[in-house]
């Protein structure tokens, strides 16, 4: 497919035409004719072309009005619907349950998109996202390298990474390599009936001052005296001298329990 269509730097557009990479992205989502697939940022339609062959219905969300206007003529398929909207404002509840997401998304969008997908009441059964390799690694990080992004993703999803796509396979080539990120929905939350809002307020407080030790960051973020925070951390079997990135989800849950029991 012609990749000479001009890109818009402001939208982080990089065209991927490598047939093997595109097929592997579809393979990772295990798409069948029973599936409704949401594609984010179809661009020139190189991935869309494969999706309409495999899925029952493809809904392509394209923010670029020019690309959205020409996509139906580039990909002639009865099972393709093109919608022009900012994906961060899209109503995911309008989709049927257990839809899938497959997308080669702009790097700047990844963190916000994962947050939006995690917070919606109609999360996809699986999201296969081609993202910046560094971001994919952040999402699947383990204690020692955790962030709000990895805590959020791992709370709501079974996370994994797939194959890497070198920058040279894109037009124009981005400055870094990409990697497939796979998010499989967890239908039961890891800690049962807790207030997710309160849990993530705790996590955000911990990461609010990443360079500070937990006793200080939590004290400042939660407006609780350091001595009280230290006692809570000790009861939670969490070293007050640790920093937020060192904690596992289970550590955060124990702190939450001590704060709210």
pLDDT score for 15: 76
* Topology (CATH) of 196-259: Helicase, Ruva Protein; domain 3 (1.10.8)
The answer to whether the predicted template modeling score (pTM) of the entire model surpasses 0.75 is yes
pLDDT score for 13: 55
pLDDT score for 108: 81
pLDDT in tens, 215-243: 999 999 999 999 999 999 999 999 999 99
Q: What are the sequence ranges of the domains in the chain? A: 9-185, 196-259
Each residue's pLDDT, cut to its tens digit, for the chain (261 residues) gives: 444 445 444 444 567 888 999 999 999 999 999 999 999 999 889 999 999 999 999 999 998 899 899 999 999 999 999 999 999 999 999 999 999 999 998 778 889 999 999 999 999 999 999 999 999 999 999 999 999 999 999 999 999 999 999 999 988 888 899 999 999 999 988 898 899 999 999 999 999 987 899 999 999 999 999 999 999 999 999 999 999 999 999 999 999 999 987
Output the 3-class SS for the chain: CCCCCCCCHHHCCCEECCHHHHHHHHHHHCCCCCCEEEEECCCCCHHHHHHHHHCCEEEEECCCHHHHHHHHHHCCCCCEEEECCCHHHCCHHHCCCCCEEEEECCHHHHHHHHHHHHHCCCCCCEEEEEEEHHHHHHHCCCCCCCCHHHHHHHHHEEEEEEEEECHHHEECCCCCCEEEEEEEECCCCCCCCCCHHHHHHHHHHHHCCCCCCHHHHHHHHHCCCHHHHHHHHHHCCCCCCCCHHHCCHHHHHHHHHHHCC
Q: Does domain 9-185 have CATH number 3.40.50.150?
A: yes
pLDDT score for 128: 98
């Amino acid at each position: 497919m012609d990749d000479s269509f001009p890109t818009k730097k402001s939208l982080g557009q990089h065209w991927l035409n490598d047939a093997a990479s595109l097929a592997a992205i579809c393979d990772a989502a295990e798409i069948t004719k029973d599936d409704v697939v949401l594609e984010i940022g179809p661009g020139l339609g190189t991935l869309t072309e494969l999706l309409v062959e495999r899925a029952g219905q493809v809904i392509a969300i394209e923010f670029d009005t020019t690309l959205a206007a020409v996509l139906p003529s580039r990909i002639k398929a009865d099972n393709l619907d093109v919608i022009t909207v900012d994906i961060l404002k899209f109503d995911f509840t309008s989709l049927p349950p257990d839809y899938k997401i497959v997308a080669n998304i702009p790097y700047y969008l990844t963190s916000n998109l994962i947050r939006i997908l995690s917070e919606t009441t109609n999360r996809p059964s699986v999201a296969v996202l081609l993202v910046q390799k560094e971001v994919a690694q952040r999402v699947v990080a383990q204690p020692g390298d955790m962030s709000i992004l990895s805590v959020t993703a791992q709370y709501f999803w079974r996370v994994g990474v797939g194959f890497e796509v070198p920058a040279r396979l894109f037009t124009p080539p981005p400055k870094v390599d990409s990697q497939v990120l796979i998010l499989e929905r967890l239908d039961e939350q890891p800690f049962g009936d807790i207030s997710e809002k309160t849990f993530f307020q705790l996590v955000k407080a911990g990461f609010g001052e990443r360079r500070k030790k937990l006793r200080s960051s939590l004290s400042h973020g939660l407006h609780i005296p350091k001595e009280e925070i230290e006692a809570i951390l000790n009861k939670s079997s969490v070293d007050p001298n640790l920093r937020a990135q060192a904690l596992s989800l289970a550590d955060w849950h124990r702190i939450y329990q001590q704060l709210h029991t």
